[in-house]
Amino acid sequence: MKFHKEGYTSLAIVILFVFIINALADYYDAPASLKWFLYILSALLVVTILQFFRSPIKRIVPDEGTVLCPADGKIVVIEETEETEYFKDKRLQISIFMSPINVHVNRNPISGVVSYFKYHPGKFLVAWHPKSSTDNERTTVVVKNSAGTEVLFRQIAGAMARRIVWYLKEKDQVKQGEEFGFIKFGSRVDVFLPVGTQVHVNIGDKVVGGKTVIASF
């Protein structure tokens, strides 16, 4: 387990805040009960940041025939739908909701070449809202594997998430299971697969990014 690089700024802000409030409490000789409350609050804030930005170390063996889950969380959507941005036809959509307590590292579901990437500014509807896939701030990534199959996956900001981070661009060669981005404080990732792809998860399943096989070709 390691601390993710996206959390350094947040951790520094929290530590500075904790230092200031405790220094003020000492300077003004606050009652012991208030000091203990501030100590406990300080510890909780630091632990919260440490757990949110935790980044498990994973050893992944790529498999061309499978689609790995791109994020930790819960399966909230499995349905055939019209994908209107890139494919403009019917696709199988699988969506993963990430709560604030989940690991928020996003991982490539397949290996291949990035054939399309676009960032969309937008709203901050709750991540499970039906229109969050099309109205919220989001990124869209399409990766084509060696067999020519394309998979689209989309980072979607939620009501709390105000920063989407990505580490790839068009024509990049990516590896299954490696990090492609990070979303802060609750969010969602959608995956769009060819219709007829075999699905290995169900609605409500808890899944692990880079570990759970959500589908196979």
Query: Nearest 5°: CA angle at 57, between 54 and 62?
Result: 130
Query: Nearest 5°: CA angle at 210, between 63 and 190?
Result: 100
And the tokens for 77? 């959507």
DSSP labels for 91-112? EEEEEEEE-TTS--EEE-SS-E
And the tokens for 12? 């520094």
User: Running DSSP on this structure, what letter comes out for residue 136?
Assistant: B
For residues 132 and 119, the model is more confident at 119
Confidence band for 17, pLDDT divided at 50, 70 and 90: very high
Query: Is 187 among the catalytic positions?
Result: yes
Q: What is the mean predicted confidence (pLDDT) over 83-92?
A: 96
Prediction pTM value? 0.85
Confidence band for 60, pLDDT divided at 50, 70 and 90: confident
Q: Is the pLDDT of residue 68 over 90?
A: yes
State the catalytic residue, choosing from 95, 111, 133, 187: 187
Q: What is the mean predicted confidence (pLDDT) over 62-82?
A: 95
Could you read off the pLDDT of 20-57 as tens digits, one per residue? Answer: 999 998 888 889 999 999 999 999 999 988 888 888 88
CA distance 138 to 160: 14
Q: How many CB atoms lie within 10 A of CB 217?
A: 16
Among the ranges given (54-58, 112-116, 144-148), the one the predictor scored with the smallest mean pLDDT: 54-58
User: Running DSSP on this structure, what letter comes out for residue 147?
Assistant: T
Could you read off the pLDDT of 166-206 as tens digits, one per residue? Answer: 999 999 999 999 999 998 766 889 999 999 999 999 999 99
Amino acid at 176: Q
Q: Alpha helix (H) ranges present in 74-206?
A: 132-135
